[in-house]
Structure 1
Amino acid sequence: MLHTAEYKQIGEMIASCRETDFCARLAEWIRTDAAVDTLTMVVYRGSEPPIHLYDDFRNETARAGMMTYLTSTYVLNAFFQRHQTGLHSGVYRIRDLAPDAYLQSELYKGYEVVLSEREEIGYVTEGWPQGLEEIDIAVSLGNLVTAEIGLYRATDRGGFADEAIRLFQARMPVIEAAFHAYWSYSESRPASEEEAPRPNARIGFETFGACLTSREREVVTMILRGHSSESISYNLGISITTVKTHRKRAYEKLNISTQAELLSLFLEHVQSNYNAPH
């Protein structure tokens, strides 16, 4: 049974749904009885880049890492990829969301990411704190809009035990209700006229490699999303030999030879669309 102070904290958090400190209050409540070193909150709307709501990074390097993530490397994120196919509300370990070749791919060697065997998914955005285990709380807000509450704890401090997962799962009804109320109010406010246009990963995928055939583009897109040749073969219903042939031809047309070059070229394409006149 909850103590009086805990009921009060929940009440104050829910009452703040229309206030600017809601995310900070929600973060404080989530941390109750849970060993969390770092917490972040973003919202994904379709294939657009994440909308930053909250983080408790305290140093400039980590904040720069967050900015890099928000503007480019989010396209690699396993949560973002699953969100685009429809991710149900729940509590997930990030490693359980990643495609089969996420750890082995050369993709992440080429663009503002640091490869590390200490990381659950094999890499971390440059500047982002390393050596953290990650749990993600997903809140489905409807119409392909998903909130991601990222919880991080140092692996050398034991990471997150299954007991922590169960604790966050038990709190999901309150988290979902509070976040829905907050987001509904946020969406009802008039949009700022100064809001800048945002790069769009879906448009980036659809327009990338105009010289490629539709099948070559499908293969390239799945490579960018971290799938192995075996996974591409299974999902597209073609042989592994055919996958490799499409990949070879696509690389020749794009004048590249590695997955790292492919990623760099794609992110430059997304960013150029973002910077183009609107």
Structure 2
Amino acid sequence: MAIPIIQQVATPHFYRALASGLRAAFDGDGVTILHHQRHRLPRIIFDDFAPEARAGLARYVHSTHRHDPFVAALDWRKPAWVYRLGALPRFSVAGGAGLLIDPREEIGYRTVGWPCRQSEIGAAIPVGSNDLLQIALYRQGAFEGEVVQALAACLPMLSAAIGRHRGWCAPGLPSARAAGLTRRERQVIAQVLRGNSSTAIAELLGISCLTVKAHRKNAYRKLGVDTLAGLFALFSGPGDTERSLLHPRDPGRDDAVQPL
């Protein structure tokens, strides 16, 4: 599971790869990744809900998350942690206000439009002093007894991968050295700095090895370096981090890499 996730760090496919790996590892039927911030509505980073369930997810984000035992249990000072929804303290709720009372549900109710009778486990990964990512896995029928402990064992890998992805994709200091590169040249050089081979870069970007080598050669010429050591030296100074390659001094460009 770890390798496919790590390979997608700093690409637009990172959260999809993360969800796919967890879904397969823990025999889940679905995954949501939500960004929670203090005093703000949750934000959907990824979901694989069926189209007919999207209205329920939207209702949850805009309203009924307030009745979610996970949200009630949030402690912004807490390090990464895992949960089983059914084991968290529950609300006493009445029907209406977007909620449907159903004793067959894991917590006795669900959001109107949400998939029926889903068990939920998940992880909370802090990404700042007042925000975190919630990775939730769902399935019809209970998860196996030791699955929460197994998910807890993955926390260091998940936290590291998410932290690295956010670090790469967060806006960095402008780099005049990278500003002259084309979008594809920046992508290639960013992957070179990560230690990826031409073959790996070709597979990641969906281009041929010859094209990778051509972009690398052109980028080296524009950057005024001849060797990999020279490239590393060029991007080792303050403000010249690898991530500056993905966010050069041209605000009009879009590398399709999102901060979250």
Asked if TM exceeds 0.5, the reply is: yes
The answer on 1:128 being equivalent to 2:119 is no
Q: How far apart in 1 are the matches of 2:121 and 2:153?
A: 15
- Residue of structure 2 equivalent to 1:171: 154
Q: How far apart in 1 are the matches of 2:102 and 2:79?
A: 29
- Which amino acid in the other structure matches residue 171 of structure 1? C
SS of the aligned residue for 2:25 comes to coil
Q: Which aligned pairs between 1:1-278 and structure 2 lie closer than 5 A? A: 10-60=2-52, 62-83=53-74, 86-99=77-90, 102=91, 105=92, 107-155=93-141, 159-188=142-171
Would you say the 8 A contact 1:83–1:146 is kept in 2? no
Would you say the 8 A contact 1:137–1:150 is kept in 2? yes
Q: Deviations over 1:93-132 (max 9, x none)?
A: 1123324xx2xx2x34120111111112221111000111
Would you say the 8 A contact 1:84–1:144 is kept in 2? no
Q: Quick one: higher RCO (CA 8 Å, sep 6+), 1 or 2?
A: 1
Q: Deviations over 1:40-68 (max 9, x none)?
A: 110101121111011111232x1110111
Q: Between Structure 1 and Structure 2, which shows a larger proportion of helix residues? A: 1
Instruction: Give the greater-gyration-radius structure (CA).
Output: 2
Q: How far apart in 2 are the matches of 1:189 and 1:56?
A: 30
Pairs aligned (count) = 173
Q: 1:70 to 1:184 in 2, by over 3 A?
A: farther
Displacement of 1:26 in angstroms is 0.5
Would you say the 8 A contact 1:89–1:139 is kept in 2? yes
Structure 1: runs of 5+ lacking an equivalent: 1-5, 191-278
SS of the aligned residue for 1:79 comes to helix
Would you say the 8 A contact 1:47–1:84 is kept in 2? no
- Which amino acid in the other structure matches residue 134 of structure 1? E
- Residue of structure 2 equivalent to 1:222: none
Q: Deviations over 1:216-263 (max 9, x none)?
A: xxxxxxxxxxxxxxxxxxxxxxxxxxxxxxxxxxxxxxxxxxxxxxxx
SS of the aligned residue for 2:26 comes to coil
Displacement of 1:185 in angstroms is 4.0
Would you say the 8 A contact 1:88–1:140 is kept in 2? yes
SS of the aligned residue for 2:120 comes to strand
Q: How far apart in 1 are the matches of 2:58 and 2:83?
A: 24
SS of the aligned residue for 2:20 comes to helix
- Which amino acid in the other structure matches residue 173 of structure 1? P
Would you say the 8 A contact 2:76–2:131 is kept in 1? no
Q: How far apart in 1 are the matches of 2:116 and 2:139?
A: 10
Identity of aligned pairs, percent? 29
- Residue of structure 1 equivalent to 2:211: none
Q: How far apart in 2 are the matches of 1:146 and 1:67?
A: 19
Would you say the 8 A contact 2:23–2:29 is kept in 1? no
SS of the aligned residue for 1:141 comes to strand
Q: 1:24 to 1:64 in 2, by over 3 A?
A: same
Structure 2: runs of 5+ lacking an equivalent: 174-260
Task: State TM-score, norm by structure 2.
Answer: 0.61
Displacement of 1:186 in angstroms is 4.6
Displacement of 1:87 in angstroms is 4.1
